[in-house]
Amino acid sequence: MTSESPAPLIDPFGRAVQYLRVSVTDRCDLRCVYCMAEDMSFLPKADVLTLEEIDRLCSAFVKLGTRKLRLTGGEPLVRRDVMQLIRALGRHIASGDLDELTLTTNGTMLFKHAAGLYEAGVRRINVSMDTLDPHKFQAITRWGKLDKILGGIQAAKDAGLKIKINCVALKGVNDDEIHRMVAWCGEQGFDLTFIEVMPMGDVGEGARLDQYWPLTQLRAELETRWTLDESDHRTGGPARYVRVRETGQRVGFITPLTHNFCESCNRVRLTCTGTLYMCLGQEDAADLRTPLRMSDEDGPLIDAVRDAITRKPKGHDFLIDRQHQGPAVPRHMSVTGG
C-alpha cells in the first residue's frame, strides 16, 4: 500500500465494506439439491476472469480497505491452478494489509490442497457438510462420497487449519441429525453453523418450501439437549453464535429468512466473470470486468467499485411461503458465490 491509502468504502447506510467474497468458478463437482439443478449449464471458460485478473481485482479491494477475503465457488478448489491465485493473495496476509484469507469448500479436494492452503497463509476454512450419514450425503449431493470429505477434513485438521462446518437445515432430510452434528463437531474441535435454505435459482426439485426448516425451530430442538450460552463472537459474516456448554464449541445460526441479518452487512460479492453484487438477495450489480480490461491502471476500476458501493441496498428481500415458492433471485448460489 502507499503511505496515503485511499478512502475506505462506506455504503449509503454508513457501513464500512471490508469483506469481499470472490467466486473463482461457478463449477462444482457436486450437485447439492438445494443449490444446483442436476443438469447445470456452466459458464463458457472464455467468459471467466483469468487468475491474474482475479488477483488484480482482489488487490484493488485490499487497497480500498478490504480486510477479509473469502474464496468461494461453485467449488473453488476445482478451478485449475487455483493454488497459484491463493499463494499470490497470501502476500497481502504477509504484508499485514489483509487480516484473513479463507475459503468455503465442499471438501472434495482438501486431501490434495490442505497443506498448500496453510503454507499460502490460510488459517481457517468453512466446509459445507449437511449430514454424517453416507447414504443421505450421496442423496443430498447427488453423487458425493462422505468418506472422501471426512478424509479431506482430517487432512485439513492435520495441516493446522481451523475448521468450521456449514450445515444447511433441510426439513425431513437432516432434521433428525442436528444433535449428532453438534456432538461430532464437539469431539473434533470444530465450530458448526446451521444455515436456512436460501431461495436462489431453480434447483429442479420443486418448491423450496418443502426443504425450509426455520432455525428458530432448530434452535429450540437443540435446547432440549444442549446448554446454549449467548456469545458475542463474530467472524465477519452473518452468523450469530452461541457456545455449547457441554462441548465448548460454538454453534452459529445464519437466518436470512427468520431473522434478516442485513443491518450489519459489510460484504460484497464478486463473481468469476467480474460482476460485483452488492447484495446476495438483490439483482443490482456492477460490471468490473470492463474497467479492469480497459486500462492497466487501477483508476477506472476503483472508480467503478466506488460507484457500485453507493448503490449497496439496506438489505435483501428473501421470502419463502405459500405465495413465494419460487426463487427470490433467478441466479444460482454457485454463480454469486456461497
The annotated binding site for GTP is made up of 21, 70, 104, 164, 267-269
Give the per-residue pLDDT at 167.
96
Nearest to 92 by CA among 71, 69, 113: 69
Give the per-residue pLDDT at 257.
59
The annotated binding site for S-adenosyl-L-methionine is made up of 34, 74, 128, 198
Looking at mean pLDDT, say which of 15-19, 231-235, 304-308, 309-313 comes out highest.
Answer: 304-308
What's the chain's average pLDDT?
87
Residue 319 above 50 pLDDT? no
Residue 208 above 70 pLDDT? no
pTM: 0.86
Residue 327 above 90 pLDDT? no
- CB–CB of 118/155 below 8 Å? no
Cell, residue 143:
453423487
pLDDT band at 331 (very low <50, low <70, confident <90, very high): very low
Give the per-residue pLDDT at 199.
60
The annotated binding site is made up of 21, 28, 32, 34-35, 70, 74, 104, 128, 164, 198, 262, 265, 267-269, 279
Chain position carrying cell 453438534:
182
Give the per-residue pLDDT at 234.
79
Q: Exposed e or buried b for every residue in 33-56, given b needs 16+ CB within 10 A? A: bbbbeeebeeeeeeebbebebbbb
Task: Please report the domains of the chain, with CATH numbers, ordered by start residue.
Answer: 19-336 (3.20.20.70)
Give the per-residue pLDDT at 204.
53
How would you classify the pairing of strands 228-230 and 124-128?
Answer: unpaired
For the stretch 289-303, pLDDT in tens is 999 999 999 999 999
Q: What percent of the chain has pLDDT over 90?
A: 67
| Number of residues that make up the chain | 338
* Distance separating alpha carbons of residues 212 and 325, to the nearest angstrom: 10
pLDDT band at 322 (very low <50, low <70, confident <90, very high): very low
How would you classify the pairing of strands 285-287 and 250-254?
Answer: unpaired
The annotated binding site for [4Fe-4S] cluster is made up of 28, 32, 35, 262, 265, 279
How would you classify the pairing of strands 275-277 and 285-287?
Answer: antiparallel
| φ and ψ at residue 241, rounded to 5 degrees | -110, 150
Residue 336 above 60 pLDDT? no
Chain position carrying cell 456469545:
231
Give the per-residue pLDDT at 283.
72
Residue with more model confidence, 266 or 161: 161
pLDDT band at 338 (very low <50, low <70, confident <90, very high): low
**Inter-CA distances, 245 with 27, 149, 167, 191, Å:** 39, 27, 20, 13
Residues 6+ apart with CB under 8 A from 51: 24, 79, 81, 82, 84, 85, 88
In terms of Cβ atoms closer than 10 Å to its own Cβ (0-12, 13-18, 19+), residue 273 is: middle
pLDDT band at 38 (very low <50, low <70, confident <90, very high): confident
* Distance separating alpha carbons of residues 171 and 206, to the nearest angstrom: 14
pLDDT band at 2 (very low <50, low <70, confident <90, very high): very low
